A and B are shown apart, each in its own frame.
Chain A
Amino acid sequence: MKFNRLLLYLFLCCGAFLALYPFLWMLGASFKTLNEASTPSLNLLPKVWQWSNVTETFRAAPFGLYFFNSFLVAGSVCLSVCATSLMAGYAFARLQFKGRQLLFFIILGSMMVPFELTFIPNFVLISRLGWYNSYAALIVPWCVSAFSIFLMRQAFLALPRDFYDAAVLDGCGHLRFLVRIGIPLVMPSLVTVALFAFLGSYNALLWPLIVTADDSCRVVQIGLVAFYSDAGARLNLLMCASSIIILPTVLIYFVAQRYFVQTTMGTGIKG
């Protein structure tokens, strides 16, 4: 048994190294000179650590403001996606009404629309509403996510029927059940939804690039654009900026994954 465990750890660690390698390369390249960073080699660490890369990165674009905007936008999107997908997921899982299946397919269908198609009509709509270069343009189109609704529906479907029946017996209506009992029960899935909603908004580049005109609303991914010039990318600074940008998301995931723990669901139901 101990050997099995050891083997498991070995396998996982090897896999983790493979997963980690490009990121290590990125970190290393962040502190190299342009020449060194552009040279493909096995050396992850720079010969001479260029600490000045960090200051130069921050000088290239107003990253402080960009980070603030990114967190504001991604946070709002995260909250609204959680709220809407909770409600919709529960409705599709536990409510009976005519056209339920059809409506669910339509919502699922919206996930199949490629971004390229939605971009121009959405842009025109945003301009008509006067939201060009505002937070609303960055947040509102992403407040609902079909993928999250689907995930929450699966999560609610996975709950044993007994819970609902017991709650109804206790006189608990749909909404109360959702808020008081449902949320804690589907917490892992909800955390997943929150995580991906945040990430999706945080990592988006194309849409923010199009709907923002100046630095007041721009997000961190746009800051990366500053490192591309007509004659190539400033690879080392680009990697430095990318590493800095990734850090918050890794921290958030580190916190979030603590919810992915097996719960004991026996409490409350006897027999």
Chain B
Amino acid sequence: MTQFKKRLQIFLFPFVLLAVAGDRCLGMLDDGLDALRRRGLGDWPAALLLLLPAVILLSLFSLYPMGASLQMSFFGGRHGEGDFVGLANYTEALNNPDFRRSFLVTLYYVLGVVPLTVSLSFIIAFGLFKITRGRGLLRSLYFLPYVTSAVAAAMVWRSLFHPQQGVVNLLFSYLGFSPQNWLLEPRGILHLLSHGWIPADLGPSLGLCCIMLFDIWHGSGFMIAVFLAGLSVIPRELEEAARMDGAGEWRLMWHVTLPLLSPTIFFLSIVGVIKAFQAFNSFYALTHAGGLPDTQNLILYVYAQFYQYGYWGYGAAVATLLVLVIVALTLLQWRVLGRKVFYS
């Protein structure tokens, strides 16, 4: 054992050296930065040092392509070989019924998925945080949907919701309801629930609702993990203090936990909306881009324009419109929700 310990120490020695040396380097850097700050440069040098790699890489691989495609959106034709057409692609998109339909589908999807996933994930994460036994196992089980590749999970989902052979329709007929077409149903869910009162093309279709259900199931794993992380940094002392003051469990959650968790909720809301607008994997895996327009969102539309038909300019214009909408909604959320976030 002592031989092993010796070997371990020898192995770790260079790392320790590195750590100590690293600490010294950090110390020197810190002094340098401090000196710069005193010279009146403020926090700029530190910011430069810390932000440079991120800014360079993001500019190269995210912002530059955005610029290139923005440029492409002003040209017509296929495969980037076309004439300058100014804003013609944009006006064409706004007048195109397929574009409007996919935009509406995307909107329904975002409004349906994000609030439901955030609330469901919060409830589950809160529960997972409180339990003591089997905690590791249960947490891992809830994370499984997120880890399962969308392709495999979608296959399972499709066979579960199959109109003729699926388990769900089997259960439905047991319970006395009529079997539904689920993913292949283009009529609205409101129309079906209201027995025909509400017109069929108002609101999301049943097919779209199935896709939303899939994404709530799939995405909750991700949000639960983030919530768990957020719950971990809430100081126990605050909760103890509140309990001692006589607060019950519900009041505790409402007045102590939620406000302290607000940065996390804010974060998940913003990121959730951005990711929901860009949802591709689930839509593609569940419909293979071969479904009816009621299950085709904007990203699928862009995908078809780009890779199936080759209209790069038009596709770039549609994608730019999408980005503008996302930016607008994010700013809106930032203003509205940002005020309510409580930072200690």
Contact = CB atoms under 8 A, between A and B. Distances in A.
Interface of A: 5, 8-9, 11-13, 15-16, 18-23, 25-26, 39-40, 42, 84-85, 87-88, 90-91, 95-97, 100, 103, 106-122, 125, 140-141, 143-144, 146-147, 149-151, 154-155, 157-161, 172-176, 179-180, 185-186, 188-189, 191-192, 195-196, 199, 203, 221, 224, 235, 238-239, 242, 245-246, 249-250, 253-254, 257-266
Given A117-B69, A188-B233, 14 more contacts: A26-B156, A84-B54, A91-B46, A91-B47, A110-B62, A113-B63, A120-B65, A121-B69, A158-B260, A188-B228, A199-B146, A249-B147, A257-B140, A260-B229
Interface of B: 22-23, 26-27, 29-31, 33-34, 42-44, 46-47, 49-51, 53-55, 57-58, 60-66, 68-69, 124, 127-131, 136, 138-149, 151-153, 155-157, 159-160, 162, 165-167, 170, 217, 220-222, 225-226, 228-237, 260, 263-264, 266-267, 270-271, 274, 277-278, 280, 299, 302-303, 306-307, 315-316, 319, 322-323, 326-327, 330, 343-344
Given A11-B127, A20-B141, A260-B139, A224 B151 contact: yes
Given A19-B221, A242-B148, A121 B26 contact: no
A184 B228 CA distance: 16
Given A149-B54, A250-B144, A40 B160 contact: yes
Contact of B226 (A106, A118, A151, A203): A151
A254 B323 CA distance: 36
A146 B281 CA distance: 20
Nearest to A254: B140
Contact of B263 (A16, A100, A120, A158): A158
Scoring B54, B128, B142, B236 by chain A CB atoms within 10 A of each residue's CB, the highest score goes to B54
A113 B26 contact: no
B280 A19 contact: no
Nearest to A241: B152
Nearest to B158: A40
A250 B57 contact: no
A165 to B, nearest CB: 13
A39 to B, nearest CB: 8
Contact of B152 (A5, A199, A242): A242
Given A116-B303, A157-B343, A253-B147, A90 B225 contact: no
Contacts of B167: 40, 42
Given A140-B57, A146-B62, A179-B26, A253 B326 contact: no
15 contacts: A13-B138, A15-B124, A23-B148, A109-B63, A110-B58, A114-B302, A116-B302, A116-B307, A151-B226, A173-B26, A173-B29, A179-B26, A203-B147, A246-B144, A253-B140
The binding surface of chain B is classed by DSSP as helix
Nearest to B56: A144
A9 B131 contact: yes
B30 A174 contact: yes
Nearest to B144: A23
Contacts of B162: 40
A11 B190 CA distance: 29
Contacts of A22: 145, 148, 152-153, 156-157, 160
A1 to B, nearest CB: 10
A260 to B, nearest CB: 4
A246 B233 contact: no
B266 A154 contact: yes
A264 B319 CA distance: 46
The binding surface of chain A is classed by DSSP as helix
A55 B290 CA distance: 34
A33 to B, nearest CB: 16
A149 B57 CA distance: 13
Contacts of B232: 188, 259-263
A100 B50 CA distance: 13
B237 A266 contact: yes
Contacts of A110: 58, 62-63, 66
Contacts of B237: 264-266
B217 A242 contact: no
Given A22-B157, A40-B165, A158-B344, A8 B127 contact: yes
Contact of B27 (A149, A176, A254): A176
Contacts of A242: 148-149, 151-152
A40 B144 contact: no
Contacts of B61: 118, 122, 125, 140-141, 144
A112 B330 contact: yes
A97 B148 contact: no
A8 B157 CA distance: 27
A107 B64 contact: no
Given A22-B145, A175-B30, A192 B229 contact: yes
B130 A8 contact: yes
A84 B149 CA distance: 27
Given A151-B226, A174-B33, A192-B225, A158 B343 contact: yes
A88 B51 contact: yes
Contacts of B160: 22, 40
Contacts of B47: 91, 95, 97, 100
Contacts of B330: 108, 112
A160 B233 contact: no
B236 A262 contact: yes
A125 B60 CA distance: 9
B211 to A, nearest CB: 15
Contacts of B326: 112
Scoring A21, A40, A143, A264 by chain B CB atoms within 10 A of each residue's CB, the highest score goes to A40
| The 8 A-B residue pairs with the shortest CB-CB distance in the complex, in nearest-first order | A173-B30, A110-B62, A118-B65, A188-B229, A121-B65, A22-B156, A260-B228, A87-B50
